[in-house]
Structure 1
Amino acid sequence: MIKELKSVIGIMRANNKLILDLKQTLLNYDINQSEFAVLEYLFHKGRKNIDEIRKHILLTSGSVTYVIDKLEQKNYVIRTICSTDKRIFWVDITQKGKNLISEIFPLHKLNTKNIFKNLKEEEILLLNKLLQKI
């Protein structure tokens, strides 16, 4: 087997593990992974427009709009039209959304830390550098 293929398989397995752990964490909450990704991004970065959210969480614009619609129905975000450009919608996280992420994020962080527990800090830093090169 070529070494690149082994690397791809390793990356995919690690990704699957991260996704499964996040799904497990979210089982007790009324949100899915995409909704969590949007809320987490807004929680840490503040108000963003839909295109910025799409670029960050790597979803199509239609998918992001759908996710934001669901989050808005649950009162986790509010969407407002830009006053200078009616084509742009701003999305803000509500206090209810902040409360939810404040509860979930520490669990997610702990689970992620647990996944990497067998790696030394230097190995994690090297892994980050290597993944950024791909």
Structure 2
Amino acid sequence: MVRTNLIISCLVALLASSSLGFAPSSLKPSSLLTSKSTTSLDIFGDALKGAFANDDSLGKRKDEGLSKGPDYNENVTVNGKKVQGAVVGQKLTAVAGRARVKIPVNCQKGDCGTCMVNLNGRKVKACQTPLPKGKANIQTL
């Protein structure tokens, strides 16, 4: 506690001397070395008095993130295996990983074409294609 107060006092003295051009007499080096249990910020006067006055008037904070949670798609199969907990918008490589089916990928950009799969009868690149809503039947080539 004493060390924390000493650090705070030093920072206040440094701030006051650099921004105001002088060091207040109450913050002489001899007074910084005393073991006080509290730190006084009187050099700023009432400048910080109302800094957090409106925190209570903001009301209760809403939960951050998705308001209704992720959008799950329970109608997903990979090579005939049903996938539980697949999230709409995930890349097909991640969805296949949940079913423990390995889809080979190289570039992760969709340039090489090693990750081609059939999604509902259409050939798509699994590293770039997000999981759609509704039925999704993924077949590796």
- Greater RCO (Cα-Cα under 8 Å, separation 6 or more): 1
Could you say which TM-score interval applies, normalised by the shorter chain? under 0.3
Q: Which has the larger radius of gyration?
A: 2
TM-score calculated relative to the size of structure 2: 0.24
Between Structure 1 and Structure 2, the one with more strand by share is 2
Between Structure 1 and Structure 2, the one with more helix by share is 1
TM-score calculated relative to the size of structure 1: 0.25
